[in-house]
Copies of this chain bind each other. A is one copy, B any other.
Amino acid sequence: MALSAQVEVDLGSRSYPIYIGQALLSGGELRNLLKAHVRGKQAVIVSNETVNTLYGDAVREALSECEVDTFLMPDGEAHKTLEVFGLVIDFLIENRHNRTSCIIALGGGVVGDLAGFSAAAYQRGIDFVQIPTTLLAQVDSSVGGKTAVNHPGGKNMVGAFYQPNCVVIDTDVLTSLPAREFSAGLAEVVKYGVIADPDLFAWLEANADAIMEKDARALTHIIKRSCEIKADVVAQDERESGIRAILNFGHTFGHAIENLSGYGTWLHGEAVAVGMAMAADFSEKLNLLAQGSAARVVDLLKRFDLPTSLSESVAPEDMIRAMGMDKKVSDGQLRFVVARSIGAVEVTGDYRHEVLAEVLSDWCRP
């Protein structure tokens, strides 16, 4: 099958292609793609032990004309910190990487976010290529240039908008992905259906089994469509000053859930799944979304083995507090992305607080 789809992210001088296909890493394709996008003679692969063991050699082989160093970071969101960012910078300097060097992020969202911020900040910005190895990273982090590290005070508090030179997505890597992480990625795919594409949502409902069986054509379709939708939104609003906020559907609740339970308890996509179920219910209770639509969202999430309720009770006031530092706060007003239908959402700060209180009351004590 090899290279079978390409999505252009249209951002003027910062535009870049996303290559999607089967066996892009194991075939000879990667060498050509990297040759076209790695401009200098030095490269650093940023990865973790697990992913490097599986795919590191393929990438080093494809980069055989460069001087390549490999930086391995510990796995997990807990290591997406300013400290590890500092270690990457130390590593780049120790190995005398100059301004024409290229950072290759080989891994999931944690690796991509940290490697991306390192590329953005090292000598004020060097080349950057993403090879995302989780479904979540393929459909979310690979489009839009958001890079960041966490702070004890909140997720993604320090970072940059920084676009890669290209993104290479090999659907084969998903076969080695743990089931829980695969499902977590599907949560974001469901999100794209809800916010922008009723056809995609219906397609997911009709093809859920093929997707769960990791059928390559089904995966290519949903990854391509997800990247297209996100690319379209990001092209309209690169720096998240307006419409891009719709990508946060389910994330205001989701981030609060992650915050309250401590990073690492829930996978991001799992917290977002619960957050989307809550946001859909909130939308129905605000009489914006037709009754029954929230149930469709919940049903689809369940078919993808995703959680649709909290596993432990939390105090609604803790949830409100946890949402207080969320980035949807604009001058003190807490704003939500709500659905008007499956396929159309809007950002609003105009809602009755009793309705929010009712949603929190219903969901916080499952």
Contact = CB atoms under 8 A, between A and B. Distances in A.
B125 A160 contact: yes
A330 B100 contact: yes
Interface in A138-183: 146-148, 151, 153-154, 156-161
Contact of A93 (B123, B147, B151): B151
Interface of A: 40-41, 82, 86, 89-90, 93-94, 96, 98-100, 117, 120-125, 146-148, 151, 153-154, 156-161, 239-240, 324-325, 327, 329-332
Given A98-B331, A100-B331, A330-B100, A158 B89 contact: yes
B98 A330 contact: yes
A89 B159 CA distance: 11
Nearest to A117: B121
15 contacts: A41-B332, A82-B86, A82-B89, A90-B151, A93-B154, A98-B331, A99-B327, A99-B330, A123-B327, A124-B147, A124-B148, A124-B156, A124-B239, A124-B240, A125-B239
A40 B161 contact: no
Given A89-B151, A121-B121, A151-B89, A325 B161 contact: no
Nearest to A161: B124
Task: Tell me which of A41, A121, A239, A332 has the highest count of chain B C-beta atoms within 10 A of its own C-beta.
Answer: A121
A148 B123 CA distance: 8
Contacts of A82: 82, 86, 89
A146 B161 contact: no
Given A121-B121, A124-B146, A157 B89 contact: yes
Contacts of A327: 98-99, 123
Contacts of A157: 89, 93, 122-123
A337 to B, nearest CB: 16
Contacts of A94: 153
A102 B237 CA distance: 21
Given A96-B324, A99-B329, A123-B156, 4 more contacts: A90-B153, A98-B332, A121-B159, A124-B160
Contacts of A161: 124-125
Contacts of A41: 331-332
Contacts of A147: 124
B159 A96 contact: no
Given A121-B159, A125-B161, A40 B153 contact: no
A165 to B, nearest CB: 14
A88 to B, nearest CB: 10
Contacts of A158: 89, 121-123
A322 to B, nearest CB: 13
Contacts of A146: 124
Given A122-B158, A124-B146, A159-B124, A96 B40 contact: no
Nearest to A145: B124
A43 to B, nearest CB: 13
